[in-house]
């Protein structure tokens, strides 16, 4: 690694991007070379800064003073965040490459990785500013916004796409980046181990090990997902060219559905199918109200059931939520795979996360307020949560057992009814 060249490239891509992007495109490079000489170093910066912020300097909390995360947990989080940055920039490059023909460009994986890696420079550098008191998060956000501008400038050059298509190309890529970042950032908090294998510059697989399970995501599956997104991108571009606003909205929904659901998307249960899982009583508590609905949010379908149970004096109550993640089942399953087992206790209460067979369970109890939460993931599709007030955790566990969780599990592959 040439340190002066690394610093010069990072400085120039941020300060003079219009003249630096042509130089980037003209350079002979490879996927492995980009990782070895640039990505591995720049992507480490925000992870290190995050560790310093949370475990060394601490986070200031009004009324409570400075809170610090233990060094062990901080280091583990730093390593995982670093792995996420390395993985997301590559997955995003695969998507950029797959979408190139849709927006009049030419496929080239090395150039696609140049686009995502060098555009990410502003975000990575901005991420180091989280250590700045009070305004660090805003500065980091500004870096992320500037990265979008860098991507807008770089995509037409790296992927040889017409300038007039740079905006929709960038928009689709940014949506994908947000989805990937949100999903993998959530995973960081629960993953116990992640390893990434690359050979000859080709991404072979990602392995996630947690909770006694090993999940391998190979390049064929990623490629299939990319093609699905590419097809949605073509429909969106066609709708844009036709000026059909309704078709554009529908195409955007299909794009989001492809991003979130992959090949695992499925129609969630209808209200009629979900309602039987909301009983009229939980133990000695009667159902006071309930709501069951199925909705679509930018192309992703979910179904939700909510109910409130209480005694006659309203001194004890339980709020029940059942969410069918059918439209984004692939990511719901991934979250279930990587749940970390936790057993922690403080003066206020405790948190426990554990597995019961194939189910992931989380218990949280707050002693001063006498409130608790019992959550369980059923069939890697249904999220069930019970929040209690004035009842102890044993009551919440019994309430969960009173639910027909086996019946829900039996519907894990069933599509919802229509009409």
Q: Which of 29, 37, 39, 28 lies closest to 5, judged by CA? A: 37
Identify whether the C-beta of residue 125 lies closer than 8 Å to the C-beta of residue 101: no
Identify whether residues 288 and 236 lie together within a single domain.
Answer: no
In whole angstroms, give the CA distance from residue 4 to residue 238: 45
Identify whether residues 258 and 277 lie together within a single domain.
Answer: no
Identify whether residues 241 and 322 lie together within a single domain.
Answer: no
Name the residue with higher pLDDT: 340 or 200.
340
- Per-residue pLDDT, 298: 45
Q: Which residue has 């019992």 as its token pair?
A: 374
Identify whether residues 137 and 166 lie together within a single domain.
Answer: yes
User: What are the contacts of 284-289 at 24+ separation with CB within 8 A?
Assistant: 284/311, 285/309, 285/310, 285/311, 285/316, 285/317, 285/318, 285/399, 286/310, 286/311
Identify whether residues 169 and 209 lie together within a single domain.
Answer: yes
Identify whether residues 36 and 133 lie together within a single domain.
Answer: yes
Give how many domains the chain has, as a whole number: 2
Least confident of 49-58, 233-242, 390-399: 233-242
Q: Which of 298, 304, 268, 310 lies closest to 385, judged by CA? A: 304
For the chain, state the CA radius of gyration.
24
- Per-residue pLDDT, 89: 86
At 335, the pLDDT band (50, 70, 90 cuts) reads very low
Last residue of a domain, one of 263, 295, 319: 263
* 211 belongs to a structural domain: yes
pLDDT digits (tens, 9 = 90+) for 56-93: 666 554 444 555 555 555 666 677 677 777 878 888 88
Identify whether the C-beta of residue 391 lies closer than 8 Å to the C-beta of residue 316: yes
Identify whether the C-beta of residue 373 lies closer than 8 Å to the C-beta of residue 380: no
Buried b (16+ CB within 10 A) or exposed e, 71-82: eeebebbbbbbb
- Average pLDDT, stretch 145-149? 87
Identify whether residues 391 and 298 lie together within a single domain.
Answer: yes
Which residue segment(s) compose the domain that 16 sits in? 3-263
Least confident of 136-150, 197-211, 300-314, 393-407: 197-211
72 sits in which H/E element: helix 71-99
In whole angstroms, give the CA distance from residue 360 to residue 336: 6
Identify whether residues 236 and 318 lie together within a single domain.
Answer: no
In whole angstroms, give the CA distance from residue 35 to residue 322: 43
pLDDT digits (tens, 9 = 90+) for 213-233: 333 444 454 455 556 655 665
- Average pLDDT, stretch 136-159? 85
In whole angstroms, give the CA distance from residue 208 to residue 205: 10
Q: Is the dihedral of CA 378, 380, 384, 385 positive or negative?
A: positive
Alpha-carbon separation of residue 289 from 133, 198, 310, 318, 319 (angstroms): 45, 53, 10, 11, 10
Last residue of a domain, one of 220, 237, 263: 263
Identify whether residues 248 and 331 lie together within a single domain.
Answer: no
Task: Measure CA 44 to chain center.
Answer: 20
- Per-residue pLDDT, 114: 94
Name the residue with higher pLDDT: 55 or 202.
55
Last residue of a domain, one of 236, 263, 290: 263
At 210, the pLDDT band (50, 70, 90 cuts) reads very low
- Per-residue pLDDT, 379: 82
- The model carries a pTM of 0.49
**Res. 308: pLDDT tops 90:** yes
Identify whether residues 211 and 289 lie together within a single domain.
Answer: no
Identify whether residues 290 and 236 lie together within a single domain.
Answer: no
Identify whether the C-beta of residue 69 lies closer than 8 Å to the C-beta of residue 189: no
* 418 belongs to a structural domain: no
Name the residue with higher pLDDT: 212 or 153.
153
Identify whether residues 366 and 244 lie together within a single domain.
Answer: no
- Per-residue pLDDT, 279: 95
Task: List alpha helices for 243-366, DSSP H.
Answer: 245-261, 271-274, 329-337
- Per-residue pLDDT, 323: 85
At 51, the pLDDT band (50, 70, 90 cuts) reads confident
In whole angstroms, give the CA distance from residue 320 to residue 401: 13
- Per-residue pLDDT, 273: 92
């Amino acid at each position: 690694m040439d340190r002066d060249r690394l610093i010069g490239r990072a400085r120039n891509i941020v300060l003079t991007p219009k003249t630096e992007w042509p130089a980037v495109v003209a350079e002979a490079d490879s996927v492995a070379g980009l990782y070895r000489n640039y990505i591995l170093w720049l992507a480490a910066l925000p992870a290190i800064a995050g560790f310093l912020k949370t475990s060394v300097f601490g986070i200031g909390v009004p009324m409570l003073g400075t809170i610090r995360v233990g060094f062990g947990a901080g280091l583990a989080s730093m390593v995982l965040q670093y792995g996420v940055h390395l993985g997301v920039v590559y997955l995003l490059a695969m998507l950029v490459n797959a979408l190139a023909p849709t927006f009049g460009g030419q496929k080239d994986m090395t150039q696609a990785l140049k686009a995502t890696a060098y555009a990410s420079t502003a975000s990575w550098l901005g991420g180091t500013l989280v250590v700045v008191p009070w305004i660090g998060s805003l500065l980091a956000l500004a870096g992320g916004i500037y990265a979008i501008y860098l991507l807008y400038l770089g995509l037409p050059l790296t992927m040889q796409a017409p300038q007039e298509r740079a905006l929709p190309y960038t928009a689709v890529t940014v949506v994908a980046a947000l989805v990937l970042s949100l999903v993998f950032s959530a995973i960081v908090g629960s993953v116990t181990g992640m390893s990434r294998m690359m050979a000859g510059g080709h991404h072979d697989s990602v392995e996630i090990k947690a909770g006694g399970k090993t999940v391998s995501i190979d390049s064929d599956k990623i490629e299939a997902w990319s093609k699905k997104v590419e097809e949605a991108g073509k429909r969106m571009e066609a709708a844009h060219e036709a000026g059909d606003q309704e078709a554009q909205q529908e195409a955007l929904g299909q794009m989001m559905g492809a991003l979130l659901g992959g090949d695992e998307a499925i129609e969630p249960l209808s209200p009629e199918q979900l309602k039987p899982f909301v009983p009229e009583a939980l133990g000695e508590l009667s159902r006071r109200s309930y709501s069951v609905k199925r909705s679509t949010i930018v192309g992703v379908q979910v179904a939700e059931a909510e109910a409130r149970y209480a005694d006659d004096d309203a001194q004890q109550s339980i709020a029940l939520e059942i969410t069918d993640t059918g439209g984004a089942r692939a990511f719901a399953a991934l979250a279930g795979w990587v749940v970390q087992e936790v057993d922690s206790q403080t003066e206020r209460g405790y948190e426990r996360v554990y597995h019961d067979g194939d189910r992931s369970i989380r218990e949280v109890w707050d002693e001063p307020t006498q409130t608790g939460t019992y959550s369980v993931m059923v069939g890697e599709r249904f999220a069930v949560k019970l929040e209690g007030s004035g009842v102890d955790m044993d009551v919440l566990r019994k309430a969960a057992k009173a639910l027909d969780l086996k019946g829900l599990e039996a519907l894990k592959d069933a599509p919802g009814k229509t009409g």
